[in-house]
Chains A and B, each alone.
Chain A
Amino acid sequence: MIPLPAIRRILVALDASHGGEAALEAAALLAAHMEVELAGIFVENEDVLRFAALPFTRETGVASAATRKTDRQEVERLLKVRAGLAEAALVREAERQRLRWSFEVRRGRVMSQLLADAESEDLLALAREGALGHGLRAGTTVEELLPGRAGAVLMLPARAKLAPPLTVIYEESPPGAAALTLAGRIARGTLDGVVRVLVPVPPSPAAARRIEAQAREDLARLPVVAEMKNVPCAPPAAFAAAVRAARPGTLVMGWNAGLARALQSVDVPLIVVRPERRAHRRRH
C-alpha cells in the first residue's frame, strides 16, 4: 500500500460565505482528528479589485437583480469585513476543537494564491462553490488545483458536512491506494469506523476479478471495518449513478481526472488524494 504523504496542516480557504463555513467546520474536524494545525487563508481577489476600479463596470446583485456602479474602495472595505468575519469564524472553530491555528490574508488570484501557499503536506479544504470567484464548477477547481500539486484536497458542496458512510473509490493505482490509506485514517475516529469501498471494475471479467482481489488484499490491511462493492467504471454517467446509488456520506478518491469529472453531479464532500511521487506497486 502506498504510504500517504504526512499531513501536517489543514489549510482552509475562507471567504465568510455559507460554503466557506461548511469547509471550515469540516477542516476543523479533520484537524482535530489528525492533531494538526488549522490554517486559514483569505484571498482578496485581485481581479475583483481591478474590476471595481474600472470606471464603466457595474455589478448585478444575484438576489436583487439590481445593477449598480462598482467602487474599489467599497469592495476593499467589504473584503476587509469579510476577512474579519472569516478570522472570527476560524478562531471560534479552533477554540471549540482546541486546535493550533493561524490565519493569513493574501491578495492575488485565488487559485494561484492557494497553490502558492499550499504545501505538499497540507490538506487543502475549500467550498466547491465559493463567493470569491474561484470557479463555478467543481471540475474546474479540481482540474485547476490538483494537476499542479501533490497532497489532498477536500471540496464541500454548499451546506454539506462530513458524514458517514465514508466511501472510497478504490483504484489499482498509487493515488487509489493513498486514498484508501487516508480513508482508513479518517474513519478510525471521526466517523462511524466503517469504510465502504466502491471498486470501479472494467467490463472484462478477468480484469474485474484481478482488481477485486487486489482490493481485498489492500482492505485486509485497513484497521477499520470495510465493506466492498463493485461499480462500473464506464461510461461516466453509469459510474456516477452507481456511486449515487451507494448513498455515500463522504467520498475519498485518488486523483483521476476522468472519474473526478464524473463525480461533479454527486453532491457530497469529496477528498481527492495525489501522492507526491509515483510508486511502483508490488505485484503478487
Chain B
Amino acid sequence: MTNPLPPERLRRQVDPALLGFATTAELGDLRDVLGQSRATDALRFGIGMRRQGYNLFVLGPQGTGRHSIVRQFLTEQARGEPAPHDWCYVANFEQEHKPKGLALPAGVGVKFKRDLEQLIEDLGAAITAAFESDEYRARRQEIEGSLKERHEQAFTALGHEAEEQGIALIRTPTGMGFAPMQDHEVIGPEQFHKLPEPEQQRLEAAVGALQEKLEMLVRQLPQWRREVQQRIRDLDREVTQAAVEHLIDDMRRAYAVHPAVIDHLAAVQQAVVDDADGFHHGEDGPEAGIPGLAAMRPPKAALTRRFAVNLLVDHSDASGAPVVYEDNPGYQELIGRVEHIAQMGALVTDFTLIKPGALHRANGGYLMLDAHKILTQPFAWDGLKRCLSAREIRIESPGQMLSLISTVSLEPERMPLDVKVVLLGDRHLYYLLYHYDPDFRALFKVAADFEEDIPRDGDSELAYAHLVATLARRDALLPFTREAVASVIEHSARLADDSSKLSIAMQQIVDVLHEADYWARAGAGETITAGHVARALAARIDRQDRIRDRMLEQTLRGTLLIDTAGAKVGQINGLSVLGLGEFSFGHPTRLSARVRLGKGEVIDIQREVEMGGPIHSKGVLILSGLLAARYSPDQPLALTASLVFEQTYGEIEGDSASCAELYALLSAIAEIPIRQCYAVTGSVNQFGEVQAIGGVNEKIEGFFDLCARRGLTGEQGVLIPVSNVAHLMLREDVVEACRAGRFAIHPVTMIDEGMELLTGMPAGERDADGRFPPETVNGRVADRLSVMLELTRIYSAPPEPVQVEPVPPRDTQ
C-alpha cells in the first residue's frame, strides 16, 4: 500500500528569504532573454547569414514574447548597418508604360525630388519667357506669315492669270473654281451661249487649264503646311534648347557622382526640348494660329507630373537599416500597387501613382510578418515567395500576376530585393509549410523555436525576479515585494503545469503583474505584496469560474451523482478537466462497470454511441488486452463487460480515465466494493503500469473542492500516477488540508497498489503454480473468470438427446 505524499511535495514553494532583496526596485533589468537560448542563437545565426534563402521562421505559441524579442534583436542588428538606398520612379520617356527606377544613396532621393521639381518650375518659366520673347514671336510670325503669304501669292497669281484671260477665281461653299467674267460679273449660261463659238471654246479650254493648275496648287497645300510645321518645331526646339541647357547643366554638376541621375537629366532635357510646345502653352491652350497647326497639347498639371519624381522609399531620416513590421500583409500591402484615378469616365494611371509595399520599405533591412496573416491573405504568400526567389520586387496587380488581365498597364522597373524576412507563427504552421510547400524549405532555412517554459532552479528563480523587476519598471508598476515575486514564480510553475519548470508565457505573466498592481493601488499600497498577487489570481478565477460553481452546486444537490463516502462494487470516481478559454478546472465523474457472461468483449458505451474520442477508445481497448493477458492467458475470456462515464453529455477524450475504468472493471468482476472517498486519475498500459496524465493539479483540486464542501473526513484523497508527482503545484488550501491529514494524494506505480488502496484488500501475486491467493483482489478476479468460463462451457454444450416413449392410441368410440 502506498503512502500519501508529504505536503512539501504537493507544491514547490519559493523561500522569499533566498531571493535576497526586499522589493524589485532594488533589482536591475534583465539583460538577456530568459530561457530562449536556442531561439536567440537561431535568430543570431539567421540574421548574420547573408545568403539567399536564410530567412527566418520564428515558431512557438503566442504570448512567449517572441514578437518583442525578435524586434529587439532586429533593431539592435539594424542599428549597426548602413541605411539602404532611396528608391525613386521617374518617367521613361521612350517607353511610357515602363517607368524607370533610380536607386540613390539614403537622403539623396528627397533632395533629387525637390531639385527636379524646382528645375521643372524654372524650366517652365524660362521656356515661357523664351517663347514670349519678341525674337521668338517675330520668328514664328515670320514662318506662319510665310505660309499665308505663299498661299496668297499662289492664289493671287492664279487669280491674276485667270483675270488676264477674262476669268474669275470663284469660292463656292465646297471648293474653288473658275468662271468667265463680263463686266466684273460671272457670265450666265445664256450669255455664254451667245458668245461666238471660238470664244466659247477658248474660255472653256482656259478654264480647264486653270482648273488643273488649281488642283495642283491645292495638292501642294498640305506639303507647305508640313514644311511650316517642321520649321516651327525646329524653332521651338532651338529656343527651348537654349533656355533649358544652362539650368540642366547646373543640376548635372550637382549630381555628377550619380550616373543614374545624369542619365535621367539627359532624358529630361531631350523630352523637354521635344515637348517644348506643351511647356510653352501649358494650361493656356493653343493660340490662334494657322488652321491645322494647333495640335492637342497636355495640360500643365500633366506636364508637371510627367517630369516629377515618385520617391517611393525615403531613408533620409534613417539611422540604420529598416525594421518593418507589416500588420496587414495583403498582396498589395506587401509588394506595392499601381493606383488609378478616374478621368473622363476612364481609369488612368502613371508612374506617380505607384505606391510602395512593405517589401520596398524593408528592402536593405528586415521585414517581420505574421505567418497566419500572410497565409490567409489571397495571393500574398505566393507574391512574397516570388519576390524572395527572384530577389526583386515586381509590382503587378493580382490580375496581372494570374494573367487574368491583358489590358495595358504600367510595368515599373523591378527593384532589386535584399531583405531578411522573419515570419512569426505557431509550430503547426511551420510544420505544415515545411511538409507541403517545397518553396518554404528553400526560402526559410532558419527556424527559431521559442520555448514555453524554462527549467526551475535557484538561478532561474532569481532571473525571473529580475524579469518581474524589468516588466514593473517598463510598465510603470509599483515595486513587487520578494514575497510577491515568490508568488509570481510559483504561479509561473503552475502555468507550466510542472513544479520543476517556469512558464515564460509572458503575456499571461504580464497580465497578472498588471492586475496585482491594480489591486495594490486600489488599496493605496506602495508596494505589491503576495496578498495582491493572490487577490489578482483569485479575481481572475472568480471572473471565469461560473460553470465550475454551477457543476459543484449540481453535485452537492445530488443532481450529479458523485459519492465521496462508502464503498460500492463496479463504481469509482474518475477525474476530468474542462477547459474554458484561459481557465480550466477539474471535476469528478462517476465511472461504472458491469459484467456478465460473454465472449471476452469490453464494451465502451461512450464509443458505441460515438461520444468517445480515439484516444479514449484506445485506452479501453488496452483494458481488454490487460485483462486477458493478466487473468486468462491460456483460456478464453468468458465475459462481456460494459463501461460508462455516468451523466456525461458531451464527447469524452483522453486516456486519463483508463486506470479508473480498470479499477471499476476489476471491482465488478471480483465483486469487491471500491471506497468512494477516493478519486482516481492515470492511464494504464497492457502491463498494468500506471502512466502520467495532464492537468493533474486541476483534477486533484476539483475533487478536493467537492470533498471540502461536503466536509473533509481525513479519508478522502486522490490516486495519481507517480510520474505526475513532479507536476504538482497545488493550491495552498489543498496543501494545508493534506498537511493537516484531512486529505491525501497517493502516488501509484502499478494498478495493484491502487486496488489495494481502493478495496482495502491485498492485490495478490501469482504463486509458484501460477495461481493467485484466494482472498486477494486478483485471486477473486481469477476465480470469477474461471466460474464464468465454466458456465459458458455448460451453456454452450450441445443438449443431450431425450428418449421419448411411444404413447398408446386412445380408444375411440
Contacts and interface: CB of A to CB of B under 8 A. Distances in A.
Interface of A: 46-48, 50-62, 65, 67-68, 70, 75, 78-79, 82, 109, 131-133, 136-137, 157-160, 241, 244-245, 265, 267
A82 B173 contact: yes
Nearest to B156: A136
Contacts of B106: none
Contacts of B168: 47
Contacts of B172: 48, 51-52, 59, 70, 75, 133
Contacts of B218: 60-62, 65
Contact of A47 (B173, B174, B175, B186): B186
B291 interface: yes
B171 A132 contact: yes
A112 B689 CA distance: 132
A136 B221 CA distance: 16
B207 interface: yes
B442 interface: no
Contacts of A265: 141, 145
Given A50-B186, A51-B186, A53-B188, A60 B170 contact: no
In this complex, the member of B170, B173, B192, B211 whose beta carbon has the largest number of chain A beta carbons within 10 angstroms is B173
B219 A65 contact: yes
B134 interface: yes
Contacts of B141: 244, 265
B208 interface: yes
Contacts of A245: 134
Interface in B186-200: 186-189, 192
Given A60-B176, A78-B173, A47 B207 contact: no
Contacts of B188: 50, 53
A210 B214 CA distance: 52
A48 B145 CA distance: 29
How many B residues touch the partner, as a band? 35 or more
B179 interface: yes
B174 A78 contact: yes
B381 interface: no
A55 B193 CA distance: 10
Nearest to B216: A65
Contact of A61 (B155, B174, B189, B291): B174
Contact of B288 (A82, A137, A157): A157
A24 to B, nearest CB: 17
Nearest to B191: A50
A53 B170 CA distance: 13
A157 B287 CA distance: 13
Contacts of B174: 59, 61, 78
A159 B290 CA distance: 10
30 contacts: A46-B185, A46-B186, A50-B179, A50-B186, A50-B189, A51-B170, A51-B179, A52-B172, A53-B188, A54-B180, A54-B187, A54-B189, A58-B208, A58-B211, A59-B172, A60-B214, A61-B174, A61-B218, A62-B176, A62-B218, A65-B215, A65-B218, A75-B173, A131-B171, A133-B171, A136-B155, A136-B171, A159-B288, A244-B137, A244-B141
Lowest 10 CB-CB distances: which A-B pairs, in order? A51-B179, A59-B175, A59-B177, A50-B186, A47-B186, A65-B218, A61-B175, A133-B171, A56-B204, A159-B288
Contacts of A132: 171, 173
Contacts of B715: none
B178 A57 contact: yes
A55 B168 CA distance: 16
A267 B288 contact: yes
B610 interface: no
A131 B179 contact: no
Contact of B179 (A54, A158, A159): A54
A265 B186 CA distance: 30
Contacts of B382: none
Given A54-B187, A58-B211, A136-B152, A48 B170 contact: yes
A227 to B, nearest CB: 19
B676 to A, nearest CB: 106
Interface in B141-189: 141, 145, 152, 155-156, 168, 170-180, 185-189
B724 to A, nearest CB: 99
Contact of A60 (B152, B156, B186, B215): B215
Given A54-B179, A265-B145, A67 B186 contact: no
